[in-house]
A and B are shown apart, each in its own frame.
Chain A
Amino acid sequence: MDGTLPGTDGTRRDMTVQMLTTKAEQAILKTFEDNAARLPGGKSVAELRRAAIGAFASRGLPSRRVEEFKYTDLKANLREAFPLVTGGAADADTTHGALGSHFGPEFAANAVSVVDGRGTSSGGHTFLADSKAVSMDWVQAALADESLAASADLLLNTALFTDGAVIDVPAGADVADPVVIVASARDNGLAVLRHIIRVGKGAKVTLVEVERAPIAAGLRQSSAVTQISIADGAEVVHIKVVEAHKGSTHLGHWQVRLGANVSYKPFQLTLGEGLVRNGLNVDFTGQHSTLDFGGASVVHGSGHADSTLVVDHKVPHCTSRELYKTVLDGQARAVFQGKVIVQPGAQKTDGKQMAQALMLSPDAEFDSKPELEIYADDVICGHGSTAAEIDPDLVFYCTSRGIPTAIARGMLIESFIAEAIEKVEHDGLRDALIGIARDSLAA
């Protein structure tokens, strides 16, 4: 309903009119009421959920009028919301099946597996639905993080999460094998997960989150929020692979807090023809830390992939790097929003950002929005963005060497996206990611 009505004098005057809730919003409110009593967590968590659903009800899904969702209008695009999934039977083959063939069996062996919104295999970690885990002080503190009240997609997650991994990496630990969290769910359901991770001082760990719908999958909806607190001197590699097909939606968000002398290397790979939002907020709270972000997406047909970053340099002497690359065909659309805030006093901040799109079709769209908010005067910050077709001169160069046009184009497209994936240093992971991207490019 329109927020203004014509006055009797022919002019328009503002009236406070409650926006009609959409069908999807109504379904989300209903699924909350249907499930509230059964959702995990004690009294304090139940209160958080009530507060979150209340705030969600008054705000509704974000429309393009909300700046962070300017190019990803969830109110318009989310036509319906499926009922919350709260557990199901775990298939013996689910973990490996959900990872796909490019991840070797070593990745499945100790994976944290979540099926239909419930943890099924913990890989030696704990689950949030476990009453002991959820009542731990640090977990409680994470859940109460006020920054997660910032937008409606996060409120939805707080209100509805059914489970998630709780991973506590002790100080000084050097975790050799990647910790893999693999999520899968049935069609026509809404899966909502919250992962809470703490990395102790000087620890080293590689975290991998995978949510891939098989090609034959029907419509799926999911929300996954990961909170990580990384203590001084720790080194964390954090990888995510999301594959969503036509009509499916994934709303992801990482909320990350970095101590001092931390190295944090997130990488996100998004594939398919679904609607995917990857939010990433990184707060620098200790000096001499580094964020090295890589993002890649292969978006087909009517797909939509959004990567929205907020990097907050609260302290001096930190470095942030972002490289995002996307390949778009059909009417696919990619969004990259990279906000870098340099707070007063955060001198010697060094921030650089690059977002690049390869447009395989004239109907594809790339919305790239760098935002630098700099309140300190001794900093280096830069950004760049490009959107281009495959360079016909490069294709000619390859074909003049006898390489058939289709193979030449494929090689050039793969090399474009591989430049971002090359940021992943772990050989097995990088090979898996390149293999997954290659399959998607060939699809």
Chain B
Amino acid sequence: MLEIKNLHVKLEDEDKAILKGLTLTVPKGEVHAIMGPNGSGKSTLAYVLAGREGYEITDGDILWNGESIIEMEPDERAAKGVFLAFQYPMEIPGVAGLTFLRTAANAVRKRRDMAELSTPEFLKVVKEKAAKLNIDFEMLKRPVNVGFSGGEKKRSEILQMAMLEPSLCVLDETDSGLDIDALKVVSDGVNALRSPDRAMLVITHYQRLLNHIVPDKVHVLAHGRIQRTGGKELALELETSGYADYTGKAA
């Protein structure tokens, strides 16, 4: 279970607070969506969960399965099952996709006390998972994300997610830059990972992703706090009314 308690976050080199007392709980087996206007702190929440440098937690805590993760390095969190699918996946020139996947998969397996995958085992698993995501295996021999289209990058993120078998999936604006076909492939990939052992937090500005990845709960984030929580119908309501009700409201 993910428990975010009264989380206050600011940028390290600026005084302005971004998250101001965010509280949220996502039980295992559930998919929660976070929706909110631009600048509400959605991406900050995603980065803080994954442990990116440059943010300072001034108050509150993040617990994953009862354990505080805020002092952990990103790789330690990944080993504990935290995975962030980036809004803008990075390009890594000179590192082949397969090398990257194998290094990452075996690094987390090692720390989870699982046997590392041998080359044939690894290739078999990658081929299988890549095929499901319509990813051309040849593409994985190329450097990570270099020269990939927006849709290819997002599929590559979901492949990484599938390979690392996380227990907490955070998807940051996974729908941005996707056409309707790619959106379907990516959503199918995410839905395939839904399981009673896994919690998911889907961060999005638009409702359309939630037609494909249907959430158990929807939270509205504005001014650094959760302003409202509801069922999947809340997303549809926001689609018609917009965020005007929230952007004007003082925190």
Contacts and interface: CB of A to CB of B under 8 A. Distances in A.
Contacts of B94: 414-416, 418-419, 422
Contacts of A403: 75, 103-104, 107
Given A400-B51, A402-B108, A411 B103 contact: yes
A404 B95 contact: no
Which of the four size classes fits the interface of chain A? Answer: 20 to 34
B143 to A, nearest CB: 8
Interface string B63-89: 000000000011101110001101001
B204 interface: no
A399 interface: yes
A405 to B, nearest CB: 7
A392 B52 CA distance: 10
B53 interface: yes
B74 A400 contact: yes
B53 A394 contact: no
A88 B104 CA distance: 51
A397 B146 CA distance: 14
A401 B53 contact: no
Nearest to B49: A400
Given A392-B53, A396-B53, A411-B103, A404 B75 contact: yes
A272 B164 CA distance: 38
B160 interface: yes
Interface in A363-397: 392-394, 396-397
B90 A399 contact: no
Q: Is the interface of A mostly helix, strand, loop or mixed?
A: helix
Contacts of A412: 92, 95
A393 B89 CA distance: 10
> Taking each of B50, B51, B75, B164, which has the highest tally of chain A beta carbons within 10 Å of its own beta carbon?
B75
Contacts of B107: 401-404, 407
Contacts of B143: 415
B18 to A, nearest CB: 18
Interface string B84-126: 1010011011110001100110011001000000000000000
A408 B89 CA distance: 16
Interface string A90-133: 00000000000000000000000000000000000000000000
A399 B74 CA distance: 5
B164 A419 contact: no
Given A415-B92, A415-B94, A405 B75 contact: yes
Contacts of A398: 92, 100, 104
Contacts of A399: 51, 73-75, 78
Contacts of B95: 411-412, 415
B64 to A, nearest CB: 14
Nearest to A393: B90
Nearest to B91: A394
A402 B92 contact: no
B185 to A, nearest CB: 21
Contacts of A415: 92-95, 143
Contacts of A405: 73, 75
B208 to A, nearest CB: 26
Contacts of A392: 53
A414 B75 CA distance: 20
A399 B160 CA distance: 13
Interface string B26-70: 000000000000000000000000111100000000000000000
Contacts of B89: 397
B74 A407 contact: no
A397 B83 CA distance: 11
Contacts of A419: 93-94
Interface in B173-232: none
A390 B174 CA distance: 27
A56 to B, nearest CB: 43
Contacts of A400: 50-52, 74-75, 77-78, 83-84
Contact of B90 (A394, A402, A416, A422): A394
> Taking each of A399, A405, A416, which has the highest tally of chain B beta carbons within 10 Å of its own beta carbon?
A399
A240 B84 CA distance: 44
A401 B103 CA distance: 9
A397 B104 contact: no
Contacts of B84: 400
A415 to B, nearest CB: 3
A300 to B, nearest CB: 21
> Taking each of A400, A402, A415, A416, which has the highest tally of chain B beta carbons within 10 Å of its own beta carbon?
A402
Nearest to A414: B94
Contacts of B53: 392, 396
A22 B16 CA distance: 61
A402 B104 contact: yes
Contacts of B103: 403, 407, 411
Nearest to A420: B94
A394 B92 contact: yes
Nearest to B111: A402
Contacts of B73: 399, 405
Contacts of B108: 401-402
Nearest to B143: A415
A1 B173 CA distance: 69
A284 to B, nearest CB: 30
B115 to A, nearest CB: 16
A403 B144 CA distance: 15
B164 A401 contact: yes
A390 to B, nearest CB: 11
Contacts of A402: 75, 78-79, 104, 107-108, 111, 164
Nearest to B50: A400
A109 to B, nearest CB: 30
19 contacts: A394-B90, A396-B74, A397-B90, A398-B100, A399-B73, A399-B78, A400-B50, A400-B75, A401-B75, A401-B83, A401-B100, A401-B107, A401-B160, A402-B104, A402-B111, A402-B164, A403-B75, A411-B103, A416-B93
Interface of B: 50-53, 73-75, 77-79, 83-84, 86, 89-90, 92-95, 99-100, 103-104, 107-108, 111, 143, 160, 164
Given A392-B53, A396-B52, A400-B50, 7 more contacts: A397-B92, A399-B74, A399-B78, A400-B84, A402-B104, A407-B107, A416-B94
Give 4 nearest A-B pairs by CB, closest first: A415-B94, A402-B78, A402-B108, A401-B104
